[in-house]
Structure formats: structure tokens, C-alpha cells
Amino acid sequence: MLKISEQSHIQYLVAFLILLTSFTIKAQVAEKLKQTEEEIRQEMIVISRQLGVTCNECHHIKNFKDNSKKSYQVALKHIKIVELLKLNGMNGVNSEPEASCYTCHKGKLKFQHKEKLNDHNRQDSLFKKPKQDKEELVESSAPSP
């Protein structure tokens, strides 16, 4: 049987070890957060280069976590699109291309490529083809000379 003084020493030792362990765990969590923040920062640098913009395009410089800018909201949607493309095969594995912002944007904030509507090979019978192109509509609505 332990004496009272030995019990209190053991209790102090256990309390000290618990306290020491909690500080170690907090330090590890803080380090992990720092790494995560650094990884996010590096990813943002890559994205800004792929779009040809600076941080203030999407972020308020005084508060980077503020998500009120419209461009921030659009960027989140586009990041989800890139993630979806990567999940569906455009992940750079097995010589496949890797999806990124550059895939569409090519270094420009607003990408220039616009596919012309061409559905003449579409076999979907429920799909209604447009009767006229926009240019034909403009020409047909113009007064005749």
C-alpha cells in the first residue's frame, strides 16, 4: 500500500504528464494548421498565376477570409469543377491530362474559347434544336432596304 505522500507524488506526476502531453498535442495541431495554411497559400499562388490575376481579384486584402466578393464565389464553383474533373480521370495519372484552372483559362481571367453550338449529330429526340442561329435572327429582324 502506498503512503499518502507517495500517492500525492504520483498524482502530481500523472497530472504533470497529462499537462505536458496536452501541450505537445496542441503544438502538433498548431503545426499541422500552419502546414495546411501554407499549402493553401501555395495553391492560391498557382491559381492566381493560372488566371493571370493577383490576390485582390477574389480577396479583400485586409481580410483574406472574407468571402463577399462575387469573384470569390465564382472561384469556389470553378475549383469544385476542377476537383470534379480530377475525380473523373483528369488527374494526371497514367499519362492522362491534369485538370487545372489553366485548362480553360490559359492565363486569362475570362477564358476566350466559346464552343459554337453544334448539335447536328445529337441523337436525343427530346432535344429541340434551335431553329436559327443568333446571327440569322439579327439579320431577319433587320428592316429590308
Each domain of the chain, given as residue ranges in start order, spans 4-111
Q: Per-residue confidence at 48, pLDDT binned at 50, 70, 90?
A: very high
* Close Cβ partners of 66 (under 8 Å, ≥ 6 residues apart): 59, 60
Looking up cell 447536328 gives 120
Phi and psi for 121 in degrees, rounded to 5?
Answer: -95, 0
SS3 41: helix
Residue 111 or residue 33, greater confidence: 111
Q: Which whole number is the average pLDDT over 88-111?
A: 87
Phi and psi for 46 in degrees, rounded to 5?
Answer: -60, -45
Provide the CA 70 distance to its chain's centre, in angstroms: 15
Residue 105 has pLDDT above 90, yes or no: no
Residue 41 has pLDDT above 70, yes or no: yes
pTM here is 0.53
Q: Can you say whether the dihedral through the CA atoms of 86, 90, 93, 98 is positive or negative?
A: negative
Q: Per-residue confidence at 30, pLDDT binned at 50, 70, 90?
A: low
Comparing 84-88, 104-108, 130-134, which segment has the lowest mean pLDDT?
Answer: 130-134
